[in-house]
């Protein structure tokens, strides 16, 4: 049903490695506890879809499954392959990262591959888990600029900090 409603709406797709908080952000955005959230990597197996309403406008949002691994192996290919169908439909791609763990080298690869493959799509970077002002300072670290997606949009998917500003950026 969401698919029918959402067909003509602009679509944003949340991507990123496991456990960064994509599903938590999805639930906050749609204001429902629809997606399963846990601290176990690989919680989301199938995409979640919903509709956000912001300033009287609707936007379709897709939460995708993330990948992670203990070794220094690449996970960019897995993420892009698995999420390809959603990414192909995206008007905006939001790459979600975790400010508490910082940027992994593989995320640099993911950002690079997304930019290469989705040249015409707007891509934003979110620094999630910025639960307080103090944590926001971590975003000043050089590693964040190294992703080449501009200054990360700071927000907290759990307590809602920065969500309004984030939505304003998406809608402009
Ligand atoms: N402190 C804090 N924790 C958060 C925030 N957002 C998510 N988390 C926690 O991070 C963990 C992972 O959250 P999920 O939303 O399941 O992460 P995901 O990116 O969907 O993970 P996968 O589905 O495995 O790809 C959970 O324990 C969340 O409660 C946040 O803004 N602040
Ligand atoms: Mg998830």
Q: Of the candidates 51, 22, 52, 47, which has an alpha carbon nearest to the alpha carbon of residue 37?
A: 22
3-state secondary structure the chain: CHHHHHCCCCEEEEECCCCCCHHHHHHHHHCCCCCCCCCCCCCCCCCEEEEEEECCEEEEEEECCCCCCCCCCCCHHHHHHHCHHHHHHCCEEEEEEECCCCCCHHHHHHHHHHHHHCCCCEEEEEEECCCCHHHHHHHHCHHHHCCCCCCCEECCCCCCCCHHHHHHHHHC
What per-residue confidence (pLDDT) applies to 81? 87
The residues near 142 (Cβ < 8 Å, ≥ 6 apart) are: none
Ligand 1 atom nearest to CA at 63: 20
Percent of the chain with pLDDT over 90: 73
- pLDDT tier at 141 (50, 70, 90 boundaries)? confident
pLDDT tens across 32-41, in order?
999 999 999 8
- Which of 23-27, 70-74, 77-81, 105-109 is predicted with the least confidence, judged by mean pLDDT? 70-74
* Residue 8 in this model has a pLDDT that exceeds 90: no
| Average pLDDT of every residue of the chain | 91
What per-residue confidence (pLDDT) applies to 33? 93
CATH 3.40.50.300 is held by the domain 2-171? yes
The residue written with tokens 């290469």 in the block is 116
Any ligand 1 atom below 6 A from CB of 131: yes
Q: Of the candidates 89, 169, 73, which has an alpha carbon nearest to the alpha carbon of residue 126?
A: 169
pLDDT tens across 43-64, in order?
998 999 999 999 899 999 999 9
The residue written with tokens 């926001």 in the block is 136
Any ligand 1 atom below 6 A from CB of 48: no
Ligand 1 atom nearest to CA at 18: 25
CA of residue 128 to ligand 1 center, whole Å: 9
Any ligand 1 atom below 6 A from CB of 158: yes
Answer with the residue of higher pLDDT: 141 or 119: 119
* Residue 3 in this model has a pLDDT that exceeds 60: no
* Residue 7 in this model has a pLDDT that exceeds 80: no
Pocket test of ligand 1: the residue of 75, 82, 136, 157 to mutate, having most ligand atoms within 8 Å of its CB, is 157
| Residue 5: both structure tokens together | 């409603």
* Residue 146 in this model has a pLDDT that exceeds 60: yes
What per-residue confidence (pLDDT) applies to 133? 92
Pocket test of ligand 1: the residue of 14, 15, 22, 24 to mutate, having most ligand atoms within 8 Å of its CB, is 24
């Amino acid at each position: 049903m969401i698919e029918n409603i959402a067909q003509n709406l602009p679509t944003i797709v949340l991507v990123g490695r496991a456990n960064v908080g994509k599903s938590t952000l999805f639930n906050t955005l749609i204001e429902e506890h629809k997606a399963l959230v846990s601290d176990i990597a690989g919680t989301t197996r199938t995409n979640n879809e919903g509709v956000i309403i912001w300033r009287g406008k609707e936007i379709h949002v897709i939460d995708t499954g993330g990948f992670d691994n203990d070794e220094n192996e690449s996970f960019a290919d897995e993420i892009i392959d698995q999420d390809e169908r959603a990414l192909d439909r995206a008007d905006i791609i939001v790459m979600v990262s975790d400010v508490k763990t910082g940027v992994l080298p593989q995320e640099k690869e993911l950002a690079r591959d997304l930019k290469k493959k989705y040249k015409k799509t707007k891509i934003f970077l979110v620094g999630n888990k910025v639960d307080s002002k103090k944590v926001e300072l971590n975003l000043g670290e050089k590693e964040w600029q190294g992703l080449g997606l501009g200054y990360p949009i700071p927000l907290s998917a759990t307590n809602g900090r920065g969500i309004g500003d984030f939505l304003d950026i998406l809608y402009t």
